[in-house]
């Protein structure tokens, strides 16, 4: 199994649609690849409170590598052999709290036809932009509030318990801060999945250790999601509320001026620059009404401008271009005051 990306997604609440420059649309078709959608949690809990070795064999046969991803990477279960793994799975499904959580998930996600259709469309668009990429198999699961989305090889996993709705009492009981739990609802599943796929294909850990490169990378991820799901509200893609996005639009020049005046673009001190590209209720050094990681917003504007001025550049070429300074210079980015 290749690298497993475990993604705890924290996107912001919905708001007004705010356009930030047109994206280049692909002329896509279904590419002959159908999305395979598997309800792992339904099968697991249908087996009862005790998972026998024979039932474990059925799970292995039906779900293949995802069973290992779920057991060892998501849940960190003990299982050096089948007997231990069957015991670990039995403890999981027989836990009364987990069983209650499963019931809540099934109320919210009894069927997923609409989600499956939307994900099929976005992954077909991805196939048109990136012909060498295959459409992953999708598995839904219960993460016990560990991970919202996981990717591994040709696997895309969705932890449905992380999308029960911002008002679900579980999140307050666990202690998630409001600015996180306000994002745990159904409409964020598609952008979260696309973000996870993007980060799996273009590892954020390989981005150059400087603010400009980090900003441009995050801007490219937003641009990537917008192209694969052009109908999505900008708030869902950026992770900002409508009010926060409007604040960024109104203060775009001031945000850029702050980075320039403080000579932050080429700062390589992670303890200093990460405050501008990390999640939070707001960005340190900016007014309270600012969203977290305003640097991502600036990176998005740079990428938008770059792609508008360089129409011959494809999405794949953009994503493979790791020269943030070249992108900035070719964008001619200079927000109006």
In tens, the pLDDT along 247-300 reads 999 999 999 999 999 999 999 999 999 999 999 999 999 999 999 999 999 999
Handedness of CA 157, 160, 162, 166 (dihedral sign): positive
Question: Which of 61-100 are b and which e, b meaning 16 or more Cβ less than 10 Å from the residue's Cβ?
Answer: eebeebbbbbbbbbbebebeeeeebbbbbbebbeeeebee
The distance in angstroms from the start CA to the end CA of the chain is 50
Residue 151 and residue 123 in one domain = yes
Residues 51-71: tens digit of each pLDDT = 999 999 999 999 999 999 999
Average of per-residue pLDDT across 112-120: 93
Say what the pLDDT of residue 7 is. Answer: 52
Rounded to whole angstroms, the Cα distance separating 76 from 81 reads 14
Say what the pLDDT of residue 30 is. Answer: 47
Residue 276 and residue 175 in one domain = no
Residue 105 and residue 149 in one domain = yes
Assess whether pLDDT exceeds 80 at residue 207: yes
Residue 295 and residue 325 in one domain = yes
Domain hosting 112: range is 4-201
Residues 289-328: tens digit of each pLDDT = 999 999 999 999 999 999 999 999 999 999 999 999 999 9
- Provide long-range contacts, Cβ within 8 A and 24+ apart, for 70-75: 70/40, 70/139, 70/141, 70/157, 73/4, 73/6, 73/150, 73/152, 74/6, 74/141, 74/143, 74/146, 74/147, 74/150, 74/157, 74/159, 75/143, 75/144, 75/146
> Is residue 239 situated within a structural domain?
yes
> Is residue 336 situated within a structural domain?
no
Residue 67 and residue 107 in one domain = yes
Residue 16 and residue 139 in one domain = yes
- In the listed set 201, 235, 263, which residue is the last one of a domain according to the structure? 201
Which of 140, 177, 168, 167 shows the shortest CA–CA distance to 155? 140
Instruction: Give the global pTM.
Output: 0.89
> Is residue 59 situated within a structural domain?
yes
Rounded to whole angstroms, the Cα distance separating 214 from 295 reads 8
Residue 125 and residue 274 in one domain = no
Residue 33 and residue 178 in one domain = yes
Residues 9-18: tens digit of each pLDDT = 333 222 222 2
Average of per-residue pLDDT across 15-25: 34
Which of 236, 201, 45 shows the shortest CA–CA distance to 130? 201
Residue 58 and residue 139 in one domain = yes
What's the whole-number average pLDDT of the chain? 89
Rounded to whole angstroms, the Cα distance separating 204 from 113 reads 32
Assess whether pLDDT exceeds 90 at residue 98: yes
Q: Are the beta carbons of 134 and 154 closer than 8 angstroms?
A: yes
In the chain, the number of structural domains is: 2
Residue 102 and residue 122 in one domain = yes
Task: Kindly state the tokens that stand for 151.
Answer: 């990717």
């Amino acid at each position: 199994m290749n690298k497993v990306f475990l993604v705890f997604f924290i996107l912001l609440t919905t708001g007004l649609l705010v356009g930030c420059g047109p994206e280049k649309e692909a002329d896509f078709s279904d590419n002959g690849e159908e999305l395979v959608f598997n309800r792992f949690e339904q099968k697991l809990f249908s087996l009862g409170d005790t998972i026998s070795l024979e039932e474990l064999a059925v799970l292995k046969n039906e779900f293949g590598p995802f069973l290992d991803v779920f057991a060892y990477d998501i849940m960190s279960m003990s299982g050096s052999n089948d007997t231990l793994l069957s015991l670990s799975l039995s403890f999981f499904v027989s836990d009364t709290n987990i069983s209650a959580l499963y019931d809540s998930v099934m109320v919210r996600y009894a069927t997923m036809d609409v989600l499956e259709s939307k994900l099929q469309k976005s992954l077909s668009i991805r196939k048109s932009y990136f012909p060498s990429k295959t459409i992953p198999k999708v598995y839904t699961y219960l993460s016990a509030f560990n991970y919202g989305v996981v990717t591994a090889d040709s696997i895309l996993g969705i932890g449905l318990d992380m999308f029960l709705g911002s008002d679900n009492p579980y999140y307050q009981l666990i202690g998630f801060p409001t600015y996180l739990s306000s994002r745990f609802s159904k409409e964020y599943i598609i952008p979260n999945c696309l973000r996870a796929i993007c980060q799996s294909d273009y590892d954020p850990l390989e981005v150059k250790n400087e603010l400009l490169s980090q900003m441009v990378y995050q801007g490219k991820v937003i641009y990537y999601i917008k192209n694969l799901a052009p109908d999505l509200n900008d708030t869902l893609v950026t992770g900002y509320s409508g009010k926060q996005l409007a604040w960024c639009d109104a203060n775009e020049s001031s945000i850029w001026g702050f980075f320039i005046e403080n000579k932050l673009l080429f700062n390589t001190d992670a303890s200093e620059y990460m405050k501008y590209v990390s999640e939070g209720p707001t960005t340190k050094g900016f007014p309270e009404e600012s969203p977290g990681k305003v640097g991502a917003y600036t990176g998005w504007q740079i990428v938008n401008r770059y792609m508008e001025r360089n129409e011959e550049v494809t999405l794949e070429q953009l994503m493979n271009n790791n020269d943030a300074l070249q992108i900035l210079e070719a964008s001619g980015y200079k927000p109006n005051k």
